Amino acid sequence: MAKSNLTVRLLTSAVAVPLLLVLLFRGPALGWALLLFAATAVTSQELYAMTVRGDRVTQAFAISSTLAVALTIYFATSDARALLTLGIAVPIVGFLVPLLRVKDIANSGLRLMTLVAGPWYIGGLLTTTSLLRRDFGAGWVLLVLSIAWLADTGGYFVGRRFGGAKLYSVVSPNKTWAGLYGALFGSTLAGVAASLTYLPRLPLLHGLLLGLLGGGIGQLGDLVESLLKRSVGAKDSGSIIPGHGGILDRIDALLFVAPMTYVYAIWFLN
């Protein structure tokens, strides 16, 4: 990464992060959820712009479907009928829309599966960040953000410093095993720091495990997005964030860390 791009990234983070933290800790849970719904809409637009190129009608349907998943999961968490209906309707309609709008038969399979899985990939997984804020508190959201961010930071700097063997070059040519170890160190540090400071009710062992597991699954989330982008020939998912690319580029790890943390919390810490 060029120094100029790193500078832009740091400046963007210096402006965005404090604003996010103010809303997270000072605003209502619904305010945080509304921000995440907006992010869901933009992120899904980035996804479908890559996978359903040139078909605005299908993109509009897919974004609406993704928002429907997010809204239903947040507002009807305990309504089994609503969740069951959602789980059945989204795949069925997702299969039917590409059938009714065949553009390029060679890419129809990609379009088909994106419309089935995409609403859950973006709308379902990202909404768990809102559920963490609502059900457990702002500190838990900070935990998953810090796990994702410190893993990204540790992976970047350790990977640049030591280089070495590639982790999975066919999917992400720049990732190395050294970078993975740096990411795991950073994420584990985030989990331990949370337990010792702003989340004192989180036992130290659980903080360590969440950090380690979050770092590993976050790297998998990063690889999933890299595979998606390489399969459609895209360098970035978008350009909405100066120096960072698209929103999906920034939250690819968070999409896996947040649901893992939420499930862990409801099973072991609730």
Q: Given this model, what pLDDT does residue 243 score?
A: 56
If one counts the domains in the chain, the total is 1
- Residue range 223-255, pLDDT digits in tens: 999 999 998 888 888 766 665 578 999 999 999
Q: Is the per-residue pLDDT at 1 higher than 50?
A: no
Which tokens go with 104? 């390029």
Query: Could you tell me the residue range of the domain that residue 150 belongs to?
Result: 3-269
Q: Which residue matches tokens 């996978």?
A: 51
Q: What is this structure's pTM?
A: 0.91
The mean pLDDT value for 77-85 works out to: 91
Nearest to 160 by CA among 9, 4, 13, 3: 3
Return the bridge partners of 108, or none: none
Q: Which residue matches tokens 């989990």?
A: 191
CA 175 to CA 226: how far, in whole Å? 11
What is the residue-averaged pLDDT of the chain? 90
- Residue range 114-170, pLDDT digits in tens: 999 999 999 999 999 999 999 999 999 999 999 999 999 999 899 888 888 898 888
CA 253 to CA 263: how far, in whole Å? 16
Q: Is the per-residue pLDDT at 73 higher than 80?
A: yes
Give the Å distances, CA to CA, from 137 to 24, 143, 160, 230.
9, 10, 35, 37
Ranking 153-162, 200-209, 212-221, 252-261 by mean pLDDT, the lowest is 153-162
Element (H, E) at 124: none
DSSP 3-state percent helix, strand, coil across the chain (nearest 5): 80, 5, 15
